[in-house]
């Protein structure tokens, strides 16, 4: 297919030979036109546009349009797209009863996997994954309803009444309203925070064939409905090696703080280097980036802006994170393995400063990644080479043996 890519199907056909590639380190599962990453250069493009330019010149809904339809909207297209999304921000009232079935202290990602999957039970006109109109309306519904569901999960955990969406606000502004307003008091959206949250959404919107996106594709390849496929993505994202890293990173900073703060960073790094400890520096390292994660650079900038705007520059956890980053970037263990901070290292600090509880961080990542998942699902279904995903295995278990009746075993 190209200088560095072998088409295994042509090489082996139906000969019974196949490749062995645990973790898919060297396997391309699809053709894609959505996101390009050059891990060595630290480059990320959505549909050809550099992430650095999108973060400055576009907002999240424009980015959604770009990922879904292939290009940035003009003014009229943006107006129409925004109107379509805001038309669907409410969720069926029955969802409240469904939510009530959860314990109040349930992890928000447990709640989100349930709520997103449950959408398929409410919107029967958008469940046929092979019908482009169904997929289109499912995409709009998912983008529109994810902030409402995340905010509902939060309000439920806090024992507060749900806040209905306010469609005249921006996508990020409306999310903050649903999170932080109460029936007794409006929430005034700070423009620096609104922009920071919108940037978090843009930076997390897609990242080609990562674990959760591959999960969505694999799940969708069976012909299941779009809501079920996205719920599978939410479940996969939850893991600490993937989207759960932002929560794990903040918890790690809290642990170092408890150990004694900046002075104890050296001791913590020693534990990380000890291969028997199983301790990792959360928010560091990436399967594809072997250079600075470009999203982390932008998030680092946003982190300074938000903490400055909120007067939190001297926040001990932020100072600890900055010292940890400096020490790790000069340490041969991390340098030789090309381990740099990833986007999650900073996004957690920003979200904490905004007042978002740590346990909600991954749900916010899921909210933002939904558009990427659905764009990838659309691309897969539209691909003439699309087949149900079915990896092979190397069987290393027992040779055939006889089943003895229970009395003889
Ligand atoms: N801390 C310490 N050591 C690390 C870390 C880390 N965060 N990440 C990788 N390493 C080490 C590995 O132990 C391994 O060392 P070795 O060669 O001595 O055995 C080497 O670096 C290579 O690492 P792999 O595990 O092979 O890298 P892989 O590509 O499989 O893993 C991953 C990537 C999962 C992201 C890993 O770096 C990690 O667990 N990081 C922490 C979790 C995290 O931040 N995840 C967020 C990813 S970004 C996202 O989802 C938005």
Tell how far the Cα of 359 is from the centroid of ligand 1, in angstroms.
22
What pLDDT does residue 16 have?
Answer: 80
pLDDT higher than threshold 90 for residue 287: no
Q: Give whichever of 4-18, 101-115, 232-246 has the largest mean pLDDT.
A: 101-115
CA-based angle 116:85:386, to the nearest 5? 60
* Whether the CB of 298 sits within 6 Å of ligand 1: no
Q: Specify the range with the lowest mean pLDDT, choosing from 46-55, 56-65, 348-357.
A: 348-357
Dmax of the chain from CA atoms? 77
pLDDT higher than threshold 90 for residue 169: yes
What pLDDT does residue 1 have?
Answer: 66
Other Cβ atoms closer than 10 A to 341: 27
What pLDDT does residue 18 have?
Answer: 87
Q: How confident is the model at residue 36 (pLDDT cuts 50, 70, 90)?
A: very high
CA-closest candidate to residue 353, choices 314, 297, 327, 322: 314
pLDDT tens sequence across 192-203? 999 999 999 999
* Whether the CB of 272 sits within 6 Å of ligand 1: yes
Tell how far the Cα of 338 is from the centroid of ligand 1, in angstroms.
10
pLDDT tens sequence across 363-374? 999 999 999 999
pLDDT tens sequence across 379-392? 999 999 899 999 99
Q: Is the ipTM of this complex over 0.85?
A: yes
pLDDT higher than threshold 80 for residue 95: yes
Distance CA 1, CA 169 (A): 47
Our answer to whether residue 344 is catalytic in this structure is yes
Q: How confident is the model at residue 17 (pLDDT cuts 50, 70, 90)?
A: confident
* Whether the CB of 243 sits within 6 Å of ligand 1: yes
pLDDT tens sequence across 329-359? 999 999 999 999 988 888 888 999 999 999 9
Which residues, in sequence order, are CB contacts of 89 under 8 Å at separation 6+? Answer: 144, 145, 147, 148, 165, 167, 174
* Whether the CB of 342 sits within 6 Å of ligand 1: yes
What pLDDT does residue 376 have?
Answer: 98
pLDDT > 90: percent of the chain: 85
Q: How confident is the model at residue 91 (pLDDT cuts 50, 70, 90)?
A: very high
Structure tokens at 51: 């992430």
pTM of the model: 0.92
What's the half-sphere exposure (Cβ side, CA atoms, 13 Å) at 77?
13
CA nearest ligand 1 atom 20, residue = 337
* Whether the CB of 264 sits within 6 Å of ligand 1: no
Which residues, in sequence order, are CB contacts of 150 under 8 Å at separation 6+? Answer: 108, 112, 175, 179, 360, 363, 364, 366, 367
Ligand 1 atom at minimal distance to the Cα of residue 210: 50
pLDDT tens sequence across 96-146? 999 999 999 999 999 999 999 999 999 999 999 999 999 999 999 999 999
Alpha helices in 238-309 (DSSP H): 245-259, 265-273, 294-309
CA nearest ligand 1 atom 47, residue = 242
The tokens 């932002």 sit on which residue? Answer: 246
């Amino acid at each position: 297919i190209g200088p560095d890519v072998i088409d295994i199907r042509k090489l082996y056909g139906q000969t019974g030979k196949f490749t062995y590639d645990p973790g898919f380190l060297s396997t391309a599962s699809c053709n894609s036109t959505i996101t390009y990453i050059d891990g060595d250069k630290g480059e990320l493009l959505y549909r050809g546009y550099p992430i650095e330019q999108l973060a400055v010149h576009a907002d999240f809904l424009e980015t959604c349009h770009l990922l879904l339809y292939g290009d940035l909207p003009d003014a009229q297209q943006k107006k129409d797209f925004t109107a379509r999304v805001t038309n669907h921000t409410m969720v069926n009232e029955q969802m409240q009863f469904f939510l009530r079935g959860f314990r109040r202290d349930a992890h928000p990602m447990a709640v989100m996997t349930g709520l997103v999957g449950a959408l398929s039970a409410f919107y029967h006109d958008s469940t046929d994954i092979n019908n482009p109109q169904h997929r289109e309306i499912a995409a709009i519904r998912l983008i529109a309803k994810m902030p409402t569901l995340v905010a509902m999960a939060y309000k439920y955990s806090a024992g507060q009444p749900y806040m209905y969406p306010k469609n005249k606000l921006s996508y990020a502004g409306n999310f903050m309203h649903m999170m932080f307003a109460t029936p007794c008091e409006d929430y005034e959206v700070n423009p620096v925070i609104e922009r920071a949250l919108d940037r978090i959404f843009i930076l997390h919107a897609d990242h080609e064939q990562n674990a959760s996106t591959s999960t969505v594709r694999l799940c969708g390849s069976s012909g299941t409905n779009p809501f079920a496929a996205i719920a599978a993505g939410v479940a996969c994202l939850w893991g600490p090696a993937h989207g759960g890293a932002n929560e794990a990173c903040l918890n790690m900073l809290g642990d170092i703080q408890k150990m004694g703060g900046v002075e104890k960073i050296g001791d913590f790094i020693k534990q990380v280097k000890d291969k028997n400890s199983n301790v990792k520096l959360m928010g560091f390292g990436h399967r594809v980036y072997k250079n600075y994660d470009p999203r982390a650079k932008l998030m680092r900038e946003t982190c300074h802006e938000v903490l400055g705007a909120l007067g939190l520059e001297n926040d001990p956890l932020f100072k600890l994170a900055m010292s940890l980053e400096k020490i790790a970037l000069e340490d041969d263990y991390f340098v030789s393995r090309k381990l740099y901070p990833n986007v999650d290292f900073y996004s957690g600090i920003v979200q904490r400063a905004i007042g978002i509880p740590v346990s909600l961080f991954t749900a916010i990542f899921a909210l933002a990644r939904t558009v990427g998942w659905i764009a990838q699902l659309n691309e897969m279904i539209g691909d003439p080479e699309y087949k149900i995903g079915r990896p092979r295995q190397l069987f290393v278990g027992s040779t055939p043996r006889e089943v003895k009746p229970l009395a003889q075993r």
